[in-house]
Copies of this chain bind each other. A is one copy, B any other.
Amino acid sequence: MPAPARSLPDPRLPLHARLRDDLARRLAAGEWPPETALPSETALAAAYGVAVNTLRRAFEQLAREGLVERRQGRGTFVRRPALRGSMLRFFRQAEREGGAEIVPESRILARAVAPLPAWAAHGLGLAPGLRGLRLDRLRRWAGSPLLVEEIWLRLPDFARLAKRSPEAFGALLYPLYESECGRVVARVEDEITVGRADAALARQLDIAAGEPVVEVGRVAFTADGVAIEARRAWGRADRFRYRATAT
């Protein structure tokens, strides 16, 4: 077997796993734009100097992970890793209407660089007392408040967001993380509990104090497992709905 055309990590791993890792790296580096076809199996296998079936195993793994999509007779295509982890999936109003995804309006209420609270430091895996970027956000739906969020971001990764005009944040944060700071959220972990609104939260959500609210605690990770965002979100409990399937 001729020497591989590219350096591959950890030679103890099976060849197909190393191929998968290297292809994932090249995909993450943007070597092939989304929705375009990768080189064919035979071409890539020849470039790496491996058997076609070995490269196929790597492709199959990437397809299972959702990074690429295989289409018989056409090619293997890059998939944009559409995260199905929107905070809105927990609330009825945020669902499709007539097929299109509806995104509520967002407003940044406050922004500050400040010491991380204990829960955020813990979520980010940082020492308490280190500084982070705090965003307070209100999301509305058809004019009425839907979600209040307190978001803490790792610094200095997100330093550019500390300077950007709060009006120019747009409705969605994760695309902004990617375009402004080069950080792509690949996985989120959410923990849902039910509580009651105190006076301040009730005022923001336009409900009576003491009404039940759903709290979602979140930590968001990049593909290499680094926690970049810790978040707490509160929404009206009567708007909450979540569907779970277990096997």
* CB-based contact A246/B192 at 8 Å: no
Q: Please provide the chain A residues from 91 to 144 with a CB less than 8 Å away from any CB of chain B in the complex.
A: none
Question: Does A160 sit at the interface, judged by CB under 8 A?
Answer: no
- How many of these chains are in the complex? 2
Residues of B within 8 A of A244 (CB): 189-192, 242, 244
Q: Specify which of B192, B196, B237 is in contact with A242 (CB 8 Å cutoff).
A: B192
Question: Quick one: given A246-B84, A247-B66, A247-B83, are A241 and B191 in contact (CB under 8 Å)?
Answer: yes
Q: Which residue of B lies closest to A246 (CB)?
A: B85
* CB-based contact B241/A190 at 8 Å: no
Q: Which residue of B lies closest to A65 (CB)?
A: B247
Question: Does A187 sit at the interface, judged by CB under 8 A?
Answer: yes
Interface string of A38-75 (1 = CB under 8 A from B): 00000000000000000000000000001000000000
Question: Does A186 sit at the interface, judged by CB under 8 A?
Answer: yes
Residues of B within 8 A of A240 (CB): 192-194
Interface string of A159-195 (1 = CB under 8 A from B): 0000000000000000000000000001111111111
Q: Specify which of B66, B195, B212, B243 is in contact with A191 (CB 8 Å cutoff).
A: B243
Question: Quick one: given A212-B212, A212-B237, are A247 and B84 in contact (CB under 8 Å)?
Answer: yes
A189 to B242, CA, bound (A): 11
Question: Does A214 sit at the interface, judged by CB under 8 A?
Answer: yes
Interface string of A227-246 (1 = CB under 8 A from B): 00000000001101111111
* CB-based contact A246/B83 at 8 Å: yes
Of the A-B pairs whose beta carbons lie under 8 Å apart in the complex, a sample of 24, sorted by A's number, is A66-B247, A84-B246, A84-B247, A85-B246, A85-B247, A187-B245, A187-B246, A187-B247, A188-B245, A189-B244, A190-B243, A191-B241, A192-B240, A192-B241, A192-B242, A193-B240, A193-B241, A194-B194, A194-B212, A194-B237, A196-B212, A212-B237, A242-B242, A242-B244
Enumerate chain A interface residues (CB-CB to B < 8 A). 66, 83-85, 89, 186-196, 212, 214, 237-238, 240-247
